[in-house]
Amino acid sequence: MILSKENARLKLVRSLVRDPRARRESGTCVLEGTNLITEARRAGWVFRLVLTVQDASHAIVDLAAKLRHSNVQVETISSALMRSVSDTESPQGILAVVELQSLGFPPDPDFLLIPDQVRDPGNLGTLLRSAAAAGVQAVLLPPGTTDAFAPKVLRAAVGAHFRLPILPATWMEIQERTATSEVYLADMRGRPMWEVDLRPRLTLIIGGEAEGAGPDAVQLARSRIGVPMQDQTESLNAAVAGSILMFEVARQRSIGPVVSEAHRG
């Protein structure tokens, strides 16, 4: 059992929770809660360390036993120490340090997502969750977007990291990856989404919360697409707008686009 707040392993966990550079340099990140840790185990992620609290729930005790059986180092700490290392106000009683992993880029994708300048972890996590649910085949993360393996992103994505390729990329790499794809930039002034045929190969760019997409994204985009809204309605945030657009792609690929009478041939 770890008793000291100054324990080296606890210091490591704190640095991984707070510092994206520490995550990059160590090649690890922190997962919290039985659901994420169970999914990581099922997905074959490599565990470096697991911390559980004293008097843990039966679910945590059972999960910790399974991890120990797989030769994972599991340590017990007090609830106070767990609060000192956790990213949440009410820790769930189990935390794991795992090696960063990402699925490889698919061979011939026809639906890509680029969250550009998205700096809010909750928004990025929600976009990743929606992307996995809507059938996005890979997410390309350009410079300026928040770290996809930050604790808040991992929690908001609810396991999307285990099912969806999420890959950092330079703009040169992004240009190469999207060379054969129609690239759409989400824009409230863009063409209404149901007037655009979204069934062919495409890439969707979602700009950040404050200033929208950066100049590289604007230059890459060939078309602009928006979510129609009632007059005088404030623009949607990045996560909501992006999710609606991604599911419109999924809908069209299931039953086809909706074309208004004004746009029929």
Band of the pLDDT at 212, cuts 50, 70, 90? confident
Ordered structural domains, the chain, with CATH: 8-99 (3.30.1330.30), 111-263 (3.40.1280.10)
Q: Closest Cα partner for 142 from 202, 227, 203, 200? A: 203
Asked whether the beta carbons of 225 and 190 are under 8 A apart, the reply is: yes
What's the pLDDT tens digit per position in 60-102?
999 999 999 999 999 999 999 999 999 988 899 999 999 998 8
How high does pLDDT run on average in the chain? 92
Position 261 pLDDT exceeds 60: no
Q: Considering the chain, what percentage of its residues have pLDDT values greater than 70?
A: 95
As a whole number of Å, the end-to-end CA separation of the chain is: 72
Question: CA-CA distances (angstroms) from residue 26 to 13, 23, 99, 183, 200?
Answer: 11, 5, 8, 34, 40
pLDDT at 245 over 60: yes
In eight-state DSSP terms, residue 32 is: E
* pLDDT range class, residue 233, cuts 50, 70, 90: low
Name which of 75-79, 100-104, 118-122, 169-173 the model is least confident about.
Answer: 100-104
124: region left, alpha or beta (phi > 0 left; psi from -120 to 50 alpha): alpha
Mean pLDDT over 184-213 rounds to 92
- Residue 75 pLDDT: 95
Write down the pLDDT at residue 20. Answer: 94
pLDDT digits (tens, 9 = 90+) for 9-60: 999 999 999 999 999 999 999 999 999 999 999 999 999 999 999 989 999 9
Residue 260 predicted with pLDDT over 60: no
If pLDDT is split at 50, 70 and 90, which confidence band does 209 have? Answer: confident
